[in-house]
Amino acid sequence: MDVMNMLQAATILLLLAALGGVAMAARRFANKVNPPDWLAMAHGFLASAALALLVYAAFQDGVPASAATGIVVLLAGSAGGILMNLRYHLAGKLIPQWLLHVHILLGVVGTTLVAWGAWGAPTS
């Protein structure tokens, strides 16, 4: 599998993870409760699989600069996701909205940069 195919597959995984993220955010904002465990785990597994594929692609053959920047942004976003899970979700505390907003912003920006690298960035 070449690097562009890996970037495209990772983008699709990230978009699937984002669907779960939208459902979780809607539940958090509308009902003021944390999402169900199974949905949080599915979201995390999909995003982690995408990140693993992205990191592999970056070390395998290199990726466009936009995708490399997207990987860094997504890694920062994943740190926020891990924090939300371990500090709040598993402890039964309500996830702070500001942290959720930062996580969403990093996810959207990172996914957009990776997608740009996969489909839109000029090749050298």
Per residue in 14-31, pLDDT (tens digit) is 999 999 999 999 999 999
Q: Which residues contact 54 (CB under 8 A, 6 or more apart)?
A: 6, 7, 10, 63, 67, 70, 71, 74, 114
Coil, helix or strand for 33? coil
Burial 16-43 (b: 16+ CB within 10 A, else e): bbbebbeebbeebeeeeebbeeeebebb
Residue with tokens 């979700």: 89
pLDDT of residue 120: 83
pLDDT of residue 124: 53
Q: What is the mean pLDDT of residues 49-56?
A: 97
pLDDT of residue 95: 95
Per-residue confidence band for 34, with pLDDT thresholds at 50, 70 and 90: very high
The pLDDT tens digits for 94-119 are 999 999 999 999 999 999 999 999 99
This prediction has a pTM of: 0.91
Q: What is the mean pLDDT of residues 80-105?
A: 95
Q: What is the mean pLDDT of residues 64-89?
A: 96
In which element (H, E) is residue 51 found? Answer: helix 37-60
Q: Which residues contact 61 (CB under 8 A, 6 or more apart)?
A: 2, 3
Coil, helix or strand for 68? helix
